[in-house]
Amino acid sequence: MASVTRPTDVTMQYRATGRPGKVGAIVGESSDEGTDASVLESLSADRRNKRDALAREGIDPYPVRFDRTATAAELHRRHDGLDPDVRTGDQVRMAGRLTSIRGHGKLSFATLQDVTGSVQLLMQATTLTEQATAVLANLDLGDWVGAEGEAVTSRRGELSVDVTDLHLLSKALRPLPDKWHGLAATDTRYRQREIDLLANPESRRVFDIRFNTIASLRRQLVAEDFVEVDTPILQPQAGGALARPFLTHANALDIDLSLRIAPELYLKRLVVGGYERVFEIARNFRNEGVDTRHSPEFTALEAYRAFGDVHDGMDLTERLVIEAARSAAGRLTFTVGGRDVDLAGPWPRRPLLDWLEQVVGRRLHPSDPVEEVRAVCDAHGVGTLPEWGSGKLIFELYDTVLLPTVTDPVFVVGFPVEVSPLARHSKDDPMLADRFELAIDAKEFANGYSELNIPEEQQQRFVGQAEAVARGDLEAHPADLAFVRALEYGLPPTSGIGIGVDRLVMLIAEVEAIRDVILFPMMRPEASA
């Protein structure tokens, strides 16, 4: 539940006296990026003056509520297909933002936009109340208004509301960006997403796809009897992935904590506790680089099901992604950066070592001497660190050499145990894990495996990761004794998957930068004015 905020001084003064307190325009912070600061200050001052004029007439410019009886979409559904000049007798109360206004004197027209669409307001001077007349005289584009009147059609047959009363619900003190040119500066779009959504229909399209994608993922999992759960964001130590965490401190407990990098270990503990199918759509945090594919704060779906293995994980991932694309976009083919991607299944499953052999010309294995594998990396321009073992070097070859060649979906299977500390080893090769990565359009979209459920082996894996930390690997997995203890109570055979939600939305929305699909991406603070 949101905290209760006291009204500002200027609002309290309006309500008590009808007179405003002094509120200065903020210079240099224009919603319309092309507007000179002095022009913006003048425009904002004019809008404040109109707000103040209404307050002096006893009209509260910030009413507490407005009871709407119909949205734009509902009104159109009720009265679709009427002839011109029809009066329906339907008295409605509409609310939304004013996006256009034209005419003056005896007859004015305006467009009211709400979340479902728009409707025309028809305002005749002879039928407006005294309040409506005052509000109309002081309206600006961008104002939130409430309109009461009868649903009619105009002489041209456009569905309209013949307004009798008009309410100012909130004054837009800053002019909105020109709707024809939108909000173009990338930095401004990310910092002021609320204005970006108003000015750029493309941004609304992208985020509608995001919300529909997440809803589809959730709907599919619930239909398959998964239970949605919540696990801690603040953790004694960050686990469930190989990544560098954000660190913080809890004053009340006087302990250091990490923001989670993944919810995996907690979700598997719930399977131990008897919840056989669980999932979480989680915000994760990794203190790493920022580029078109990576954000320090991102959204991922993780799901775990008892009695399954890596093959069940691939099957579930394919179902989820295909259904999300169909639900959010109505198709399975997409174009990103000039590349066509086809999600139609079934998707191929390629063993990592076989594929790598085709590309580098020799068979590699995690048991190979480190110097030999590092030489292959050097020959293919793959950067390495001295503390990496052969398994990590093989993974870097995959990430640098193979992954960029992928366009259509492919499951890459069989990763080294060295880079899979939580995955069960293959029964055919103890140095390889029953693990997959889903690669699409040169990116990792999902990861999953048969979960390691042998307590002693998990403990030994953690010891190996601790040794990696001692060698300087800041992304090695910490030892989680609470998780090992949970495994001692018995984790059944379990399949686990993780899907990068932001990257999935990027594909379905056909955009190339992850910040375009995150409502409020992390950015440097603005310079002081």
Q: What is the pTM of this model?
A: 0.85
8 Å CB contact between 230 and 275: no
Total Cβ atoms within 10 A of residue 74: 17
HEC readout, 383-439: CCCCCCCHHHHHHHHHHHHHHHHCCCCEEEEEEEHHHCCCECEECCEEEEEEEEEEE
Angle between helices 481-488 and 264-272 (to 10 degrees): 20
Q: Identify the DSSP state of 113.
A: E
Q: What is the Cα–Cα distance from 197 to 199, expressed in whole angstroms?
A: 6
8 Å CB contact between 479 and 460: no
Say what the pLDDT of residue 400 is.
96
Say what the pLDDT of residue 443 is.
94
Within 57-163, residue ranges assigned H as helices are 72-78, 130-137
Say what the pLDDT of residue 475 is.
66
Give me 51's structure tokens.
Answer: 């707000």
Instruction: Report the sign of the C-alpha dihedral through residues 121, 125, 130, 136, in that order.
Output: positive
Say what the pLDDT of residue 528 is.
53
8 Å CB contact between 336 and 316: no
Q: Which domains are present in the chain?
A: 72-170 (2.40.50.140), 198-347+408-516 (3.30.930.10)
Instruction: Name 110's bridge partners.
Output: 101, 121
Task: Give the residue among 205, 47, 185, 177 at the shortest CA–CA distance from 99.
Answer: 177
Instruction: Report the sign of the C-alpha dihedral through residues 446, 452, 458, 460, in that order.
Output: negative
Q: State the DSSP string of 157-184.
A: --EEEEEEEEEEEE---SPPPPTTT---
Give me the tens of pLDDT residue by residue for the chain, a chain 529 residues long: 433 333 333 333 333 333 333 333 322 334 455 557 888 889 999 999 999 999 999 999 999 999 999 999 999 999 999 999 999 999 999 999 999 999 877 899 999 999 999 999 999 999 999 999 999 999 999 999 999 999 999 999 999 999 999 999 999 999 887 654 556 677 788 888 888 888 888 999 999 999 999 999 999 999 999 999 999 999 888 777 777 888 999 999 999 999 998 999 999 999 999 999 999 999 999 988 788 888 999 999 999 999 999 999 999 999 999 999 999 999 999 999 899 999 998 999 999 999 999 999 999 999 999 999 999 999 999 999 998 999 999 999 999 999 999 999 999 999 999 999 999 999 999 999 999 999 999 999 999 999 999 999 999 998 887 777 777 666 667 778 899 999 999 999 999 999 999 999 999 999 999 999 999 998 888 765 4
Say what the pLDDT of residue 474 is.
65
What's the distance, CA 239 to chain centroid? 23
8 Å CB contact between 434 and 419: no
Within 3-118, residue ranges assigned H as helices are 9-17, 37-56, 72-78
